[in-house]
Structure 1
C-alpha cells in the first residue's frame, strides 16, 4: 500500500524561510575602489576663446605677378578673442594685470614666418591692426587690457623673401602665446 503525504506550508512561513537564506550565507564581502581627480586653477587675466585656439586661414590663390608688382599679397584677417578678462589681481599684494604681450612663434624666414611646400621665394607676415609686423619669437608691443573689447585683430599676408619666385602650393603653422603683467 502506498501512501502519499502532502506537506502544507503556510505562505508566510515559506517566505520567511526563503528570506533567511542570505543570513545563513557567508558574511558579506565589501570591495573598495578609488576615484582619482585632477585639475588646475589658473591665475590669468583672460581666457582665450576656444574658437580662437586653432584657426585655419585660407590664403586663396595669389597670382605671382601681383607679388612681383606689389611685393606683398592680399591681407587675410584673423582674430584672437579673449574671455572673462579681469584686470584686478585677486591677491592685493600683487600688481594688477593691466597689460599683455603676444608672441607668435614658428619657423623663421628672416623677420617673417617660413612656409613649406612647392612655392618658393615667399614668406608669411603677421601684422596687427596698427600695422606692426610680428617677428617669430619676439614679443609684440604692449597691449592694454580693455575688458569691454577683447578682440585682437591680425592679418596674414605673403611677402617676398628675396629668393626667386616659383609658383606652387604652400602651408605654414604658427603658435601664439599671451603673457600678462
Structure 2
C-alpha cells in the first residue's frame, strides 16, 4: 500500500507541475523573419528595402500639357557602412516605362495619361535603367535622398482614377 500511495503522490506532482508550467493561450500567431546577407560595405535599413511613396490625390487639370504634381521626397537609408575601398555607390532604378516616355515609370490602374518621374534631391531627373552616382559615402549611416512626381505624358488624355507603379533599385559600390 505504501508503494501505491507513493506512486499516486509522484503522479499527482507531475500532473500539477505540467499544468502550472503551461502558458495561457489567450491568442497566438506566427512571426516570419525574412532578410538577406549581402556582400556590400553597407546594410540597407529594413524600412528602406520595401516602401510606399504616397503621391497624393492630384487634380487631372495639373497634368494637362505634361504638367507635374508637387514632388514627394523619399530616401534609401544605408547603415553600418564600413568603407575600406568602396567610397561611392551608384543606384539604378528599374521598372516598366511607357511607350511615350520610357525613362519614367508607367502607371497601372484606372488612371491614365501620366507617368512617374524620379529625381535626385536637387531635382535632377533620374532615368530608368541608368546608374545614378550618389554623393560620396562615409562610415556609419548614409541617407540617399530622392523625389518622385506624377507628370502628364503629353500624348494621351488624362483620365482620373487610382494608380500604382513599382520601381526596383539596385546598388553598386565602387
Do the aligned partners of residues 41 and 60 (structure 1) sit closer, same or farther apart at CA in structure 2, a change above 3 Å counting? closer
Aligned-CA RMSD value? 2.2
- Quote the residue 2:126 is aligned against: 134
The answer (yes or no) to whether the contact 1:105–1:137 under 8 Å persists in 2 is: yes
- Quote the residue 2:29 is aligned against: none
Q: Quick check: which one's strand share is greater?
A: 2
Distance 1:57 1:42 in 2: 25
- Quote the residue 1:18 is aligned against: none
Q: Quick check: which one's helix share is greater?
A: 2
TM-score by length of 2: 0.71
- Quote the residue 1:67 is aligned against: 63
Do the aligned partners of residues 104 and 158 (structure 1) sit closer, same or farther apart at CA in structure 2, a change above 3 Å counting? same
Distance 1:68 1:157 in 2: 14
The answer (yes or no) to whether the contact 1:120–1:164 under 8 Å persists in 2 is: yes
Distance 1:167 1:42 in 2: 41
Gaps of 5+ in 2: 4-35
Once the 2 structures are TM-superposed, how far is the Cα of residue 44 of structure 1 from its aligned partner?
1.0
1:99 to 81, 88, 91: 88
Deviations along 1:71-96, whole A, 9 cap, x unmatched? 101111111100111211xxxxxxx1
After TM superposition, the structure 1 = structure 2 runs for residues 149-160 of structure 1, keeping only pairs within 5 Å, are 150-160=142-152
- Quote the residue 2:79 is aligned against: 83
Do the aligned partners of residues 135 and 53 (structure 1) sit closer, same or farther apart at CA in structure 2, a change above 3 Å counting? same
Does 1:174 pair with 2:167? Answer: yes
Do the aligned partners of residues 121 and 85 (structure 1) sit closer, same or farther apart at CA in structure 2, a change above 3 Å counting? same
Report how many aligned residue pairs link the two structures: 137
Distance 1:78 1:133 in 2: 14
TM-score by length of 1: 0.69
Gaps of 5+ in 1: 1-10, 12-39, 89-95
2:42 to 38, 42, 46: 46
